[in-house]
A and B are shown apart, each in its own frame.
Chain A
Amino acid sequence: GAGVSQSPSNKVTEKGKDVELRCDPISGHTALYWYRQSLGQGLEFLIYFQGNSAPDKSGLPSDRFSAERTGGSVSTLTIQRTQQEDSAVYLCASSAGGGRDAFFGQGTRLTVV
């Protein structure tokens, strides 16, 4: 596709359930980021993938959060045993790497009830 695609757009889940959020980056982009944004707050960095390098997981808030990127393209962010404080918009961005600008997807709004 022409842009970064995220699915689903909205997700409502019950507390304690696991969720998977998907990101399809721009074709050819080697860098991929996941961010979290709570209502009225700034971007919270979660994880960064760059090519075949080990991902930078320094932003993941707990071991309930994990992400993978298959074949250097699609990425999945998994949140296990969701909590109400996990409710936020999860944004994915991709970049051609090397300090180039990043392009954002439309985000997944996660609501944990």
Chain B
Amino acid sequence: QKEVEQNSGPLSVPEGAIASLNCTYSDRGSQSFFWYRQYSGKSPELIMFIYSNGDKEDGRFTAQLNKASQYVSLLIRDSQPSDSATYLCAVDPSEYGNKLVFGAGTILRVKS
């Protein structure tokens, strides 16, 4: 089992809709969770982080964490074509000396 799993997509949503991106992780002791966005040909950039169970909102983005079920999700409200990118989930597993472990990423396509 991979440490961090994401559906590779592509996930296609119409402009203005809510995009829901999901990530599951294997280490129950993980403490820190991050979402990165990577545009084609560019480096990943951090867009959200979450440490506690529940929701964390930042503008159109909401990160949701459920440690009991070992999943973290990213919701993008009012999706725009400019949101089209690959979204990477990263987790800090407690057993790996605080080394961030990345999922393979989900491709999101927002169609106008």
A residues apposed to B, CB below 8 Å: 31, 33, 35, 41-43, 45, 48, 50, 53, 56, 91, 95, 97-107
**Minimal beta-carbon separation of A47 from chain B (angstroms):** 10
Q: Tell whether, in the assembled complex, residue B88 and residue A99 are in contact, meaning their CB atoms are under 8 Å apart.
A: no
Q: Tell whether, in the assembled complex, residue B102 and residue A56 are in contact, meaning their CB atoms are under 8 Å apart.
A: no
Q: Give complex CA distance A107, B107 in Å.
A: 20
Most chain B beta carbons < 10 A, residue from A33, A99, A105, A107: A99
B: contact size bracket: 20 to 34
Would you list 23 pairs from A and B whose C-beta atoms are within 8 A, ordered by A residue? A33-B100, A42-B102, A42-B104, A43-B88, A43-B104, A43-B105, A48-B97, A48-B99, A50-B97, A50-B99, A56-B96, A56-B97, A99-B31, A100-B32, A101-B34, A101-B49, A101-B90, A102-B90, A103-B46, A104-B43, A104-B45, A105-B43, A107-B43
**Minimal beta-carbon separation of B95 from chain A (angstroms):** 12
Q: Give complex CA distance A43, B91 in Å.
A: 14
Q: Tell whether, in the assembled complex, residue A99 and residue B103 are in contact, meaning their CB atoms are under 8 Å apart.
A: no
B residues apposed to A, CB below 8 Å: 31-32, 34, 43-46, 49, 88, 90, 92, 96-105
Q: Give complex CA distance A102, B97 in Å.
A: 14
Across the A-B interface, the 7 shortest Cβ-Cβ residue pairs: A42-B104, A99-B92, A104-B43, A99-B32, A48-B99, A43-B102, A99-B98
Q: Tell whether, in the assembled complex, residue A98 and residue B98 are in contact, meaning their CB atoms are under 8 Å apart.
A: yes
Residue in chain A with minimal CB distance to B102: A43
Known: A99-B31, A104-B45. A50 touches B98 (CB 8 A): yes
Q: Give complex CA distance A91, B36 in Å.
A: 14
Which of A48, A56, A91, A101 makes the CB contact (< 8 A) with B46? A101
Residue in chain B with minimal CB distance to A103: B46
Q: Give complex CA distance A48, B34 in Å.
A: 18
Q: Give complex CA distance A48, B92 in Å.
A: 13
- Contact partners of B32 in chain A: CB under 8 A: 99-101
